[in-house]
């Protein structure tokens, strides 16, 4: 027994020694000649090919500016980054740079969880003039700059030119031109109707086989639909939600119209395919597979088409998404944000990296790698002519447009967005059983109550401080 316990103790001690000698080391991945540099910890939300693009930029920085200024950026890409950053900030151990989605910029800024950047930005010559207004404004809250953009997007209409030509007769019979995209929303509906195809199964049931257009496929920007009807769901000056605005209600009626015309069951059945086939980044992507002829997407779609189905490279085109009102180049502009969390240890060095990313040449390289437009006001000819998306000019123009919309400037936008999305789902799946005006009235009542509760909390917080 004594011998056995000695053997067990010896094994445990050996294991412990092994871990001490061969176990992980802090900063092990930092090259030996950079160990004296300031290490900037950078958490990035992208994984996969986009993360590789970011890593290229990080390596470029480390080999150039970083080497000169003795800064070494260590990039770690991860999923669920918002929750991880949130708990790291709360725990007092945040990264120096957080690469997050646009929808948390305002939320984090309103909670004083990120550093204001305007002074450091001005010191590096980054001002409002450097940026396209839509992105610059979206990075601000209460007059302070809280983020800068890593890569942005602008939403446009992608359409399958091959399917347009294959259905040229059908389109002409409907009085439509197969050689151009729709220019108004009414025209989009007519193109969509002409391009729908159905199959009948052995029981005589009709199924939607190819959709001309479906607002819910992929539906990423479905809650931004009101902007193509001339409004947003948040009235910034008045500080209130306007879900009952007739233009928002019309937008919902338009979305619901698709499920009323095609049948809620048929639409649900059709969109349910995306859930099981791996979704967006697979060759079964409904647009790439030719199951949806037109869809709302950002410039990056060109990269996915090229990598997933290269034979489709010349079978598509992009154009501004048509508007229901007399406005040109209406778009929604999402973006990836770089922020410095409160409590970061190396703010100055972190901003050196952010400023590097915002240099025109670096930004253009990164945006080409991610197949996106640039957030910067100036773009080079090389960027426009050698971009992987041949329609990058369309996206650049859209992002410059006075009708380009950023995320709504409300700290509880995330909650409002989720509730709006659910309400739209309800309208789509319930058919005529639910009226958009009623659904929006309920939503406005709920969200306004939540907004007032948020305001009251902030008032009490200010008083206690």
Partner 1 sequence: MLRTRAQSGDFLKGLAFLSPWLIGFCVFLLLPIGLSLYYSLCDYSLLQPPIFRGLSNYRQLVHDRLFWQVLKNSLLYAAMALPAGLVVSLALALLLNQKVPGQSVFRTIIFIPSLVPTIAAAALWLWLLNQKSGLINLLLGMIGIPGPGWLTSPRWVLPALALMSLWSVGNTVIIYLAGLQDVPRELYEAAELDGANAWRKFRHVTLPMISPVIFFNLVIAIIGVLQVFDAPYLMTAGGPNHASYFFTYYLYDCGFTYLKMGYASAMAWIQLLIVLVLTGLAFLSSRWWVFYQGK
Q: Residue numbers of the site for partner 1 (CB under 8 A)?
A: 82-83, 86-87, 89-90, 107-108, 111-113, 201, 203, 205, 207, 265, 268-273, 275-276, 342, 412, 414-415, 418-419, 422-423, 425-426, 428-430, 442, 446, 449, 453, 457, 460-461, 464
CB of 450 to partner 1, least distance (A): 8
In contact, 350 and 66? CB cutoff 8 Å: no
CA dihedral 339, 343, 344, 348 (to 10 degrees): 90
The smaller minimum CB distance to partner 1, of residues 129 and 269, is found at 269
Alpha-carbon gap, residue 213 to 294, rounded angstroms = 5
CB of 414 to partner 1, least distance (A): 6
In contact, 256 and 215? CB cutoff 8 Å: no
The smaller minimum CB distance to partner 1, of residues 63 and 275, is found at 275
Q: At what angle do helices 246-262 and 436-464 cross, to 10 degrees?
A: 140
CB of 32 to partner 1, least distance (A): 38
The smaller minimum CB distance to partner 1, of residues 83 and 311, is found at 83
CB of 277 to partner 1, least distance (A): 9
Listed in sequence order, the residues at least 6 apart from 394 whose beta carbon sits closer than 8 Å to its beta carbon are 156, 318, 319, 320
The smaller minimum CB distance to partner 1, of residues 92 and 175, is found at 92
320 half-sphere exposure, CB direction, 13 A CA radius? 20
CB of 267 to partner 1, least distance (A): 9
CB of 209 to partner 1, least distance (A): 10
Q: For tokens 């902007």, what's the residue?
A: 227
DSSP string, 143-187: TEE--EEEEE---EEEEEHHHHHHTHHHHHHTT--TTS---BHHH
The smaller minimum CB distance to partner 1, of residues 217 and 349, is found at 217
The smaller minimum CB distance to partner 1, of residues 173 and 207, is found at 207
Alpha-carbon gap, residue 131 to 425, rounded angstroms = 36
Alpha-carbon gap, residue 313 to 302, rounded angstroms = 8
Task: Kindly report the length of the chain.
Answer: 465
CB of 456 to partner 1, least distance (A): 9
The smaller minimum CB distance to partner 1, of residues 128 and 460, is found at 460
Closest to 376 measured CA to CA, from 156, 145, 154, 136: 136
The smaller minimum CB distance to partner 1, of residues 49 and 431, is found at 431
Alpha-carbon gap, residue 167 to 161, rounded angstroms = 10
The smaller minimum CB distance to partner 1, of residues 268 and 435, is found at 268
Per-residue exposure over 384-411, b if at least 16 CB sit within 10 Å of its own CB, e if not = eeebbbebbebbbbbbbbebbbbbbbbb
The smaller minimum CB distance to partner 1, of residues 354 and 423, is found at 423
Closest to 374 measured CA to CA, from 320, 365, 405: 365
Strand 292-297 and strand 206-213: pairing? parallel
CB of 427 to partner 1, least distance (A): 8
Closest to 383 measured CA to CA, from 297, 288, 281, 299: 299
CB of 407 to partner 1, least distance (A): 15
CB of 434 to partner 1, least distance (A): 9
Closest to 401 measured CA to CA, from 187, 155, 221, 233: 155
In contact, 180 and 198? CB cutoff 8 Å: no
CB of 170 to partner 1, least distance (A): 24
Alpha-carbon gap, residue 220 to 405, rounded angstroms = 15
The smaller minimum CB distance to partner 1, of residues 355 and 413, is found at 413
The smaller minimum CB distance to partner 1, of residues 28 and 83, is found at 83
Alpha-carbon gap, residue 348 to 354, rounded angstroms = 10
Phi/psi of residue 296, nearest 5 degrees = -85, 125
CB of 437 to partner 1, least distance (A): 17
């Amino acid at each position: 027994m004594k011998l056995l316990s000695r053997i067990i103790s010896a094994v445990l001690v050996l294991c412990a020694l092994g871990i001490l000698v061969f176990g992980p080391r802090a900063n092990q991945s930092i090259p030996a000649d950079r160990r004296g540099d300031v290490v900037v910890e950078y958490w990035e939300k992208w994984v996969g090919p986009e993360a590789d693009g970011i890593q290229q930029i990080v390596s470029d920085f480390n080999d150039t500016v970083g080497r000169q200024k003795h800064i070494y950026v260590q990039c770690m890409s991860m999923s669920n980054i918002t929750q991880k950053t949130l708990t790291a900030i709360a725990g007092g151990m945040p990264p120096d740079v957080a690469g997050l989605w646009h929808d948390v910029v305002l939320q984090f800024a309103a909670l004083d969880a990120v550093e204001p950047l305007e002074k450091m930005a001005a010191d590096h010559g980054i001002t409002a003039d450097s940026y396209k207004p839509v992105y610059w404004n979206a990075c601000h809250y209460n007059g302070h700059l809280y983020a800068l953009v890593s890569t942005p997007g602008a939403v446009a209409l992608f359409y399958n030119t091959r399917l347009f030509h294959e259905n040229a007769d059908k389109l002409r019979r409907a009085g439509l031109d197969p050689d151009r995209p729709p220019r108004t929303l009414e025209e989009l509906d007519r193109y969509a109707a002409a391009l729908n195809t159905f199959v009948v199964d052995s029981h005589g049931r009709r199924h939607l086989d190819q959709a001309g257009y479906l607002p819910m496929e992929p539906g990423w920007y479905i809650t931004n639909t009101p902007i193509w009807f001339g409004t947003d769901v948040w009235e910034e000056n008045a500080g209130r939600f306007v879900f009952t605005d007739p233009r928002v209600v019309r937008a919902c009626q338009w979305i619901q119209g698709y499920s009323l015309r095609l049948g809620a069951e048929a639409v649900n059945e059709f969109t349910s395919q995306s859930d099981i086939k791996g979704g967006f980044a697979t060759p079964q992507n409904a647009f790439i597979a030719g199951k949806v002829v037109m869809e709302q997407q950002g410039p990056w779609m060109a990269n996915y088409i090229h990598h997933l189905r290269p034979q489709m490279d010349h079978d598509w085109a992009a154009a501004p998404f048509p508007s229901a009102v007399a406005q040109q180049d209406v778009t929604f502009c999402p973006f990836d944000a770089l922020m410095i969390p409160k409590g970061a240890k190396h703010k100055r060095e972190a901003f050196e990296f952010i400023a590097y990313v915002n240099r025109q040449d670096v930004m253009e390289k990164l945006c080409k790698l991610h197949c996106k437009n640039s957030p910067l006001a100036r773009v080079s000819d090389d960027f426009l002519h050698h971009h992987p998306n041949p329609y990058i000019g369309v996206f650049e123009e859209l992002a410059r447009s006075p009708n380009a919309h950023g995320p709504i400037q409300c700290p509880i936008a995330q909650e409002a967005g989720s509730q709006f999305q659910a309400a739209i789902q309800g309208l789509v799946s319930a058919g005529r059983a639910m009226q958009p005006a009623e659904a929006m009235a309920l939503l406005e009542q709920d969200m306004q109550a939540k907004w007032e509760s948020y305001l009251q909390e902030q008032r009490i917080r200010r008083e206690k401080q």
